[in-house]
Amino acid sequence: MVDITIKITDRDGVTHEVLAPTDMAMNLMEVVRSYELAPEGTIGVCGGMAMCASCQCYVKSDHELPEMSDDEDLMLAEAFYVEDNSRLGCQIQMNPELDGLEVELAPES
């Protein structure tokens, strides 16, 4: 089992350093939910299907992420508070290469 450390800044501006397993097929949105870093019902509303943008986050570190899917790109095109570094947390799978990842949760829309 390999855990990675990621830093997540919640919507109140508080940064949390958390451990995320890489062997459970979890994505960033699920990690946020498991640590209860956003109020229940405000993140992952669509269940991680890239259909709601409630898990939008800003990637603050320079990690290389997988290319954005068409579904993710289309969802972000309709979302609020989108920045150049916006991604959907449900589309970022935890893997060893993401050790040290730093993200900030986008404001609730």
> 20-69 pLDDT, tens per residue?
999 999 999 999 999 999 998 999 999 999 999 999 999 999 999 999 99
Is the entire prediction scored with pTM above 0.75? yes
For residues 58 and 46, give the distance between their C-alpha atoms in angstroms, rounded to a whole number.
Answer: 19
| Pairing between β-strand 102-105 and β-strand 3-9 as defined by DSSP bridges | parallel
Pull the structure tokens for residue 48: 């991680």
In the sheet where 102-105 sits, what is the strand order?
Answer: 15-21, 3-9, 102-105, 56-59, 86-88
CA distances from 108 to 3, 41, 52, 67, 79 (A): 28, 11, 11, 24, 10
